[in-house]
A and B are shown apart, each in its own frame.
Chain A
C-alpha cells in the first residue's frame, strides 16, 4: 500500500472549512422541508431507535452513562442550566444566575415550575438534587465536580454555592446531564423515582428494551416538547436500526455505520444529519512510562499518523482533522491558527533521533469499545508509523472490561471523549495534574498554572490567549495523539423537522431532540 502526503497547498484551516462546507451541503434540504421548519407543530409519536441501552440501566441520574440514558433523562428531566443550540448558556430551572467573584455563585430558581407529581419545584429540591452527587457516600459519576464546592445553601428563592477557589465557568458545569432536578424529601432525592420537571412523563420503562413517555401537560416551556408521545427503543444491532428506520418502525436512529450512509441517502427514505462537534477519538500515552516520558517520542508518533486518511476511512468523511487538540471547533476559544501537524515520516524520524533512537517499537492496545472503528484506526496508524521507522504492535483487547483493565492501565491505548462545551471543563477533567481521568498522566507546570489563572481571569482577550497557549501546550508537549473530531451522525424519517441549528454540544441535539424537534 502506498500513502501520499497531503498536497502542500492544503492547510489545516482549509481542510476544516472544507469539512464544514461539506457538512452544510449535506444538510441542504428540500424547500418544503425548510418552509415547514418555521412553525413547529404539535403532535405525533416520536419513536427513537438508539444503539445503546442496557437491561442494567436505572433511573439514578448519577449513573447515566450511555446515550440511551442521556436521551431518556432529557425527556423527563430539566437541569439548572441548558446549553442552547449555539453553545450559549440559557436558564432552565435557574431563571438567572450571577457571581461577583467567581467563587460565590447565586442561582435564582424559576417559580411556578411543577414536577410530574404536581409538587412545585423548590429551592430545597434543587439542593437535594445537587447533593445527590456530592459527599463521601455519593456514587455519582460527577462526584469530582463537587470537590471544590464548600457549601450549598438556600437564600430565599435562590441557591448559593460557594467554591474553594474562583471558577468563571462554574455555571457551565451545572448544565451537565447528570444534574437532573428531582423532588427531594428530607434533603435527599429518591434515585429510583422517575419523577422530574421535564417535558415528558414516564409511562413505562423496561431497561434495555424501551421507554414510553407522554407529554407533560403542565410543562413550563410552552415552546418546547412538541410530540404527544415519545418512545425510546434500544436497538443495539446497527443493521436492525437501519432496517427499523427504512421500514418506518422508528423516526430517528443514531450511530450509523459510515459505510451505509451513502446507500441510505440514495434510497431517499431518510434525512442524514452530520453535526460537527467537539467529540474526538484519541490515543493517550502514559507520560510517566518509558519511552513516552520523552516528548520527542510523543512528537514522533504525532507526526507518524495520517490524520486526513483517518477522517476519510474511519469516519467516512463525517468528521474533521484534529491537531492533537481536545478543544474543538465548536468551543469559544478554539485555536484554529495553530501550526498544523501533517503526516511527515521524515519529521518523525528527526524527533526519534533527537530522542537518541534509530527505531522505536511500542505496543498499542485497542478495542472497539474505545470507539467504533478503533481497531481499524490502530492498524492504519501502525501502517503509517512503519514508514517512519516506528513499529506499532497492535494488541487487540476484549471490549468487555476495556475501561477497567486497559484504559489508564496500559501505557498506549485508544480512547474517546464526548467533548465539552467549555475549555476549563475539558482540561480539568482530562488534562489537569491529578485529575482522575487524566488518562495520559500528564503533569505540566505551566499548563496547570495557566489552568488556575484562566478560571478567574475576567479580561476576555487575556483569557483567550491563556486558553490558546494551553491548547498549544497540549498539542505539542502533551501526551495524547488526537487525530480527529468525529461528527455526530444521525438519520431521521423525512417528516421529522429540526430547528435551523442543531446543537454541537453532545449527540442528538444535546440529547434534547425530544423537546426541540417536531413532525411536519
Chain B
C-alpha cells in the first residue's frame, strides 16, 4: 500500500507541474493569435481610438509576462479573476457550465462503460460468431461517423417525431428525471462515439489472455467458458481496460464541443471556443486548467486502479 501512496504523491506533484506548463503554453498561444480582446470585442466597429480606450480600461497595455504573473499570483490565491469581456467573476461563469459538462460526461459514461464492457466480454466469449462481427461492425461504424452526423441522425429519428427534445434547455429547477430526459440525445450520441474504443480494448485484452497456459489449464479443468472469462481472464485484463476508460472519460469532459453546438448544450466546450475567439485569456486559462486537471486526475486514478488490481505491481520492491 505504501508504494501506492508514494506514487500518488509523485503523480500529484508532477500533475501540478503539468498544469503550470499548460498554463504557460496556453497563455503564449493565445498571445500569438492576431488581435486582442479589445479589437475582437469591437469587431468591425473597431477604430484605433476606441480600441485604445478599451485596452486601457481592460489593463491590456501591460507586457505579456506582467499580465501572466498577475494572473498566476491570483490563481495561487484561489482567485480566477473576472472575465475581461463580461466583467463577471470567472468562478461563477464556470461553475454552472462545469456542472453541466460533468453531468453529461457522467451520464454518457454511465451508459457507455457498462455497455462496452458487456459487449466486449460477450464478443470475446463468442469470438468470430455473428454476434462478435455485428457488434464490431456496429461500434466501428458509429465511431467512424463524425459526431455531428450521428447527432443529426438521432435528431431525425428521435427528435422530429417529438419523442425527445432536439435542444437541451436546463434550468436549476428541473428534477433529475427531467434532466436525464432532455439530455438523452446528447448522451446517446456520446455513447455511440466512445463505445467502440472501450469495447474493442476489452475484447482484445481478454482474447490476448485466452491463449495463456493458465486459461488452457482452466479449460482443461472443465470450467464453463463464461466462468473462465469472468473469473480468470477479466481480472488480469483490467489494467488496459481501465486506462482506456479513463482516456474516454477525459474525452467526454474535454472534447464534446461539436455535440454541445448541435444540441445547444451549455457546457464548457462552447465557452472555451467563444473565449478563444474573443481572446478572453483569463477564461481560456481557467478552462484549460480544468481540462488539464481532468486528464491528470483521471490518468492518476487509472494508474492507481491498475496497480491495485495487479498484485505483482503492488509487491514490487
Contact = CB atoms under 8 A, between A and B. Distances in A.
Number of chain A interface residues as a range: 35 or more
Contacts, number: 125
B86 interface: yes
Given A233-B169, A437-B44, A56 B264 contact: no
Contacts of A210: 169
A237 B160 contact: no
B293 interface: no
Contact of B40 (A142, A207, A404): A404
Nearest to B55: A139
A430 B155 CA distance: 44
A207 B261 CA distance: 15
B152 to A, nearest CB: 6
A253 to B, nearest CB: 11
Contacts of B270: 55, 208
Interface in B8-49: 33-35, 39-49
Nearest to B265: A209
Interface in B85-121: 85-87, 93, 96
A407 B35 CA distance: 13
A136 B271 contact: no
Contacts of A65: 41-45
B259 to A, nearest CB: 11
B50 interface: yes
A138 B54 CA distance: 8
A36 interface: no
B50 A243 contact: no
B264 A401 contact: no
Task: Give chain B's interface secondary structure class.
Answer: helix
Contacts of A244: 166-167, 264
Interface residues of B, number: 47
A490 to B, nearest CB: 18
B40 to A, nearest CB: 7
Given A207-B86, A240-B167, A54 B274 contact: yes
A407 B44 contact: yes
Interface string B62-89: 0000000000000000000001011100
A404 B263 CA distance: 31
A56 B36 CA distance: 13
A405 B35 contact: yes
B277 interface: yes
Contact of B167 (A136, A243, A405): A243
Contacts of B87: 58, 192
Contacts of B278: 54, 56
Contact of B264 (A237, A405, A437): A237
B275 A403 contact: no
A143 interface: yes
Interface string B144-177: 0000000010010001101001110100000000
Interface of B: 33-35, 39-50, 53-54, 56-57, 83, 85-87, 93, 96, 152, 155, 159-160, 162, 165-167, 169, 261-264, 266, 270-271, 274-275, 277-278, 280, 283
Interface of A: 49, 54-58, 63, 65, 136-144, 192, 206-210, 233-237, 239-240, 243-244, 246-247, 249-250, 400-401, 403-405, 407, 436-437
Which 6 residue pairs across A and B have the least CB separation, nearest first?
A: A141-B45, A56-B85, A404-B35, A436-B47, A139-B54, A243-B166
